[in-house]
Structure 1
Amino acid sequence: MPHCIVEYSAPLAQQIAIDNLVELVHRGAIESELFEPASIKSRAYSAEHYRVGEAEGADFIHITLKIMPGRTGEQKQHLMRCVDRQIASLCASVSSITMEVLDIEREHYFKRLND
């Protein structure tokens, strides 16, 4: 835990290296020191069809950080600041960057590790 999920407008892949973006989000989660690095999972999905406000051609990045419950609001803010610090220079030209931390309900989460 956590699951770091990056959604982005598809044309951004021509402006920034999405694999680098995923790496930076992952590093931000590690930098927070809230999780064991081996438990962090990061991935990205492009949105082919999207709109951002009323601006024609505006792009976006939305990062969802799904974590197990028990972290304080301050810790969640710290996590978002760490991720933002990592991605800031790479994403300086992106029209809209949003982020949220969501608690996963333990009773609705399943995990199996195979050796």
Structure 2
Amino acid sequence: MPHIIIEYSADIEKSESAQKLMQTAHDVAMESGQFGEADIKVRTLRFDQALVGGKPDSFLHVTVQLLDGRTDDVKKALTMAMIDGYSRLNLKLGCLSANAQDTIRAVYSKTTLP
């Protein structure tokens, strides 16, 4: 953990690559001091069509899935850091947002495959 999912409108790729979007999230997560580098997993979901406020527009939303136990202040600092990191890319967006969600440690399962 964390699992970081970046949802974004396809038109963003005109100015930034998906790789840059993932690297930004990875860098912000590392700078937070909350995670070891090997624990950070980042992926993207591209959307070809999106409405923001009922109109076609660009968006980027970051979801950070964390094992439960962190305070709301820590989660808020992390989401604000994500907003700040993406703001520095100067993307033309109708909406930029981030959320941190708890994953229940007692039921989370993981394995390493050969």
State the TM-score, normalizing by the size of structure 2: 0.90
Consecutive unaligned residues in structure 1, runs of 5 or more? none
Provide runs of 4+ in structure 1 moved above 4 Å: none
Normalised by the length of structure 1, the TM-score is 0.89
Structure 2: distance between partners of 1:37 and 1:13: 26
Partner of 2:72: 73
Query: What is the identity percentage for the equivalent residue pairs of Structure 1 and Structure 2?
Result: 29
Q: What is the number of residues matched between the two proteins?
A: 114
> 88-97 vs 34-43, which deviates more?
88-97
Deviation at 1:50, TM superposition (A): 2.1
Once the two structures are superposed, the pairs formed by residues 1-115 of structure 1 within 5 Å of their partners are 1-55=1-55, 57-114=56-113
Stretch deviating more after TM superposition (33-42 or 91-100):
91-100
> Contact between 2:2 and 2:41, CA under 8 Å: does it hold in 1?
yes
Q: Which has the higher strand share?
A: 2
RMSD: 1.5
**Structure 2: segments with no counterpart, 5+ residues:** none
> Any idea what SS the aligned residue of 1:7 has?
strand
User: Aligned partners of 2:44, 2:54: CA distance in 1, in Å?
Assistant: 25
